[in-house]
Amino acid sequence: MRNRSGRFLIAIVIALISLIGYWTKTQENPVTGEKQRVSLTPEQEVAMGLQSAPQMAAEFGGLYQDPKVQQAVKAIGQKIVKNSDAARSPYQYDFHVLADSRTVNAFALPGGQIFITAALLQRLKTEDEVAGVLGHEIGHVVGRHSAEQMATQELMSGLAGAATIAMSDPGSPSNSAYIAQYVANMINLKYGREDELESDDFGVKYLIQAGYKPEALLQVMHVLEEASGGNAPPEYASTHPSPANRMEKIKAAIEKYSRK
């Protein structure tokens, strides 16, 4: 009984520290004005992105070895940044094509390092579609989604650790740890889906501001749907909303920003 009380006390302390740490990490987004719970400064995001970029590129076979293709993608990305609200953000944007010809993907690191795989690029038919992908990824950077996820993960890790200690049974410690981690991961999924939808909204706005056709982002959704081969996981178990769900939100965003 004494050992169990001690475990609960330690668990409560860990949980409180995690919660207090999370709720006190609040910064105002320099572009949107939104109050966000993040622990990194924009300067730290930039430094982290620059430091991580080479390793991330290596994970996808390095950079695509065609300077003209690299420069064309960089030009599209910079055009979006310079002619949209993204120009008001404190980040150092750069755009890279990865050599991976099998993985259909694009992603953004904190601070402005943005990547698109050759596999995805080769499926896009117009400059507007490429702009649609890059605009979406710029939205992740402006939205500080990586920094938010890191702060959330710190919270979830702390709570999961507290739950593991509180529920620990000398006979099956690994089981309780597994359950706690599973719950933490499932809770975390909703942040990913919300981030994707917000980035689609930003992407539509930035495409319009930069003179690109926002409808191209709808075609990108078709490309992603085709690339999945109909084997995409159910939306509730994925960090990305289904393409059909995203298309409805994109259409609404096009209507919203086209009126302004």
Count up the domains in the chain and report the number.
Answer: 1
Residue 167: predicted pLDDT: 45
Residues 6+ apart with CB under 8 A from 235: 193, 241, 242, 245
Inter-residue contact 140 to 203 (CB < 8 Å) = no
Q: Which of 137, 148, 196, 198 is catalytic?
A: 137
In angstroms, rounded to a whole number, what is the distance separating the alpha carbons of residues 205 and 225? 23
Which pLDDT score is estimated for 5?
55
Query: In the predicted model, is pLDDT for residue 35 greater than 90?
Result: no
The pLDDT tens digits for 201-221 are 999 999 999 999 999 999 999
Report the predicted TM-score, pTM, of the whole model to 2 decimal places.
0.76
Task: Specify whether 226 is catalytic.
Answer: no
Distance of alpha carbon 259 from alpha carbon 102, whole angstroms: 39
8 Å CB contact between 134 and 77: yes
Give the pLDDT confidence score for residue 230 in this predicted structure: 58
Separation of alpha carbons 144 and 110, rounded Å: 7
Cα 248 to the center of its chain, rounded Å: 20
- Taking the alpha carbons at both ends of the chain, their separation in whole angstroms is 65
Residue pLDDT, tens place only, 170-208: 444 444 443 344 334 433 444 477 888 999 999 999 999
What phi, psi does 26 have (nearest 5°)?
-125, 130
Contact assessment for residue 212 and residue 80, using Cβ atoms and an 8 Å cutoff: yes
Whether 76 has a pLDDT exceeding 80, the answer reads: yes
> Which element (helix H / strand E) includes 81?
helix 67-82
Contacts for 156 with CB less than 8 Å, ≥ 6 apart: 184, 185, 187, 188
Quote the tokens at residue 36: 């966000």
9: confidence class by pLDDT, cuts 50, 70, 90: low
pLDDT given for residue 86 in this prediction: 97
For the stretch 104-150, pLDDT in tens is: 999 898 899 999 999 999 999 999 999 999 999 999 999 988 877 77
**In whole numbers, what is the pLDDT of the chain averaged over residues?**
78
Q: pLDDT higher for 236 or 201?
A: 201
Higher-pLDDT residue of 247 and 34 is 247
Domain hosting residue 148, numbered range: 2-258
